[in-house]
Each structure stands twice: as structure tokens, then as C-alpha cells.
């Protein structure tokens, strides 16, 4: 069973670069306090690192 992350958007993307907004959208987050469960892949880890100041991450499994 693969490890997963539960990612929650905690801050707004207003004032962020387009690259950071795209990373938030690709993680499946739309509104503040929305959560998404993503697989632990190098691509997802990179996106989380780009927006680590905007999200909370919990390791699941």
C-alpha cells in the first residue's frame, strides 16, 4: 500500500505567482480549508514544496 498525504489549503493564493497557483490546483485544492488526498510521488512532493507556506500536510498510511 502506497503512502499518501492529506494536503489542506490554509492560506489564500492571492498575491502568489502563477506557478504556485497552478501547483495548488494540481494538488486538487480549490478553496481555503479544502483538503485532498494525494499519493506520495516525486511530482507531488515537488508541488507540495513549492507551496509549503500555504498548505498543511499530514502523512497517511
Look up the domain containing 55 and give its range.
4-60
pLDDT band at 61 (very low <50, low <70, confident <90, very high): confident
Rg (CA), the chain: 11
pLDDT in tens, 39-56: 999 999 999 999 999 999
* Whole-number Å distance between alpha carbons of 53 and 25: 15
Q: For the chain, what is the domain count?
A: 1
- How remote is the C-alpha of 15 from its chain's centroid? 17
Tell if the pTM clears 0.75, that is, is over it: yes
**Which CATH number covers residue 19?**
3.30.1390.20
Q: Does position 1 have pLDDT exceeding 80, yes or no?
A: no
* Whole-number Å distance between alpha carbons of 34 and 52: 15
Amino acid at each position: 500500500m502506497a503512502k499518501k498525504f492529506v494536503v489542506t489549503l490554509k492560506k489564500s493564493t492571492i498575491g502568489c505567482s502563477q506557478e504556485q497557483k497552478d501547483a495548488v490546483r494540481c494538488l486538487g485544492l480549490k478553496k481555503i480549508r479544502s483538503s485532498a488526498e494525494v499519493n506520495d510521488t516525486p511530482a507531488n512532493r515537488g508541488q507540495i514544496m513549492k507551496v509549503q507556506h500555504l498548505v498543511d500536510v499530514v502523512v497517511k498510511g
